[in-house]
Chains A and B, each alone.
Chain A
Amino acid sequence: MKNNHLTDEILQTLLLNEVQDEIVDKHISECQVCQEKMKNYQFLFTSIKKVEPETFSFDVTSLVMEKIYEVEIKKEKNANIALYMCLSIILIIVFILLYPYVKTIFSQFKSSSIMANAFMMVSSLGVTIFLLKDIYRQYKRKEMLILQ
């Protein structure tokens, strides 16, 4: 007799309107055991909708955006370092390639001291890097404007 009762699965699908069957309906109308079970499931289905969704005790958006900006800043820093390294390497290569010419230019300044020469070189190098970086920045800004 017990085996003839409807399974929990069938009772659930009935309540979810996933299945309709005359034999099943007939059984429920006649069987108290299944009616009772059905009532229990009905209770579960209606009350589960009233459960308040849980929330976090912290603000998700600010926590996440904080982390993302942190990562972005780090990324930009790394990109800057890479850019400076590239520029320095290019300058060194250019300097080496142009060394014979540079030598002749230096011979023009024979009168001035080594310190003055070094100062001149470092400052011109600095200015060049600064200008190149500015050009790159402007290029990036224009690229962003075009993409937007």
Chain B
Amino acid sequence: MSNIVDHLSDKVIVTNILNGNIQGFAAVVANTERLVTQIVRKMIPDEDDQKDLVQDIYLKAYKNLSSFQFKSKLSTWIGNIAYNTTINYLQKKRVSIVGIESQIENSIVEFDNSEMSTIKTEELDILVKEIAKLPPLYKTLITLYHLEELPNKEIAEITNLPEGTIKSYLYRARKMLKDGINYHYKN
């Protein structure tokens, strides 16, 4: 049911913009901003680059709005543009998206076992640091799956990756996170 509502409202919004209501696009940006942020910010650390990319992504979406077929949700379609634009950008900069660890410094915080039951914010800090250490694509997949709670099918539409590949990347990413967290506590 909510899918039909989504579809209908997407259609109303897009038709409205195509008929010349430019300001209508601001609503599209507001609705998809969170998803685009998760995709871009997870893979691109530099703020100026982020700004350029975000403008680029939405400009592409705006210019190609008439070619949107309503086969997926509008947000998924924009997510796909965001993903492709970001990946292209990384490839131009020759950053490997699954191979190497990201440039964020591997600051290893020392913890001993007695701190196993410390306050939650500290636990979260470690996890956030471990997520930051993941390769760009893993970071994005983990975020889309666990934070945005998107189903595999939608992640597949955004990333153009087969669902099986996404699953295996997610397994590997979670294992890396688990091992990373264990490392913190065991050292």
Measuring CB to CB, which residues of chain A are less than 8 angstroms from any residue of chain B? 8-9, 12, 37, 40-41, 43-45, 47-51, 53-58, 60-61, 63-65, 67-69, 71-72, 144, 147-148
Contacts and interface: CB of A to CB of B under 8 A. Distances in A.
Nearest to B38: A53
B19 A147 contact: yes
Contact of B178 (A44, A54, A68, A72): A44
Contacts of B177: 44, 48
Contacts of B171: 8-9, 12
B124 A50 contact: yes
A99 B19 CA distance: 43
Given A61-B29, A65-B26, A56 B127 contact: no
A40 B176 CA distance: 12
Contacts of B19: 144, 147-148
Interface of B: 19-23, 25-26, 29-30, 33-34, 36-38, 41-42, 47, 50-51, 54-55, 58-59, 62, 120, 123-124, 127-128, 131, 142-143, 146-148, 171, 174-175, 177-178, 181-182
A144 B20 contact: yes
Contacts of A45: 146
B23 to A, nearest CB: 8
Given A50-B120, A54-B37, A56-B50, A41 B178 contact: yes
Given A60-B37, A64-B55, A71-B59, A53 B29 contact: no
Q: Dominant SS at the B interface?
A: helix
Contacts of A43: 181
A48 B127 contact: yes
A56 B54 contact: yes
A53 B143 contact: yes
Nearest to B182: A40
A51 B37 contact: no
Contacts of B30: 61
Given A53-B38, A60-B33, A148-B21, 9 more contacts: A8-B171, A47-B127, A50-B124, A51-B128, A54-B38, A57-B47, A64-B26, A64-B29, A67-B58
Contacts of B58: 64, 67-68
Contacts of A55: 37, 41
B181 A40 contact: yes
A63 B21 CA distance: 18
A8 B51 contact: no
Nearest to A67: B55
Nearest to A9: B171
A25 to B, nearest CB: 20
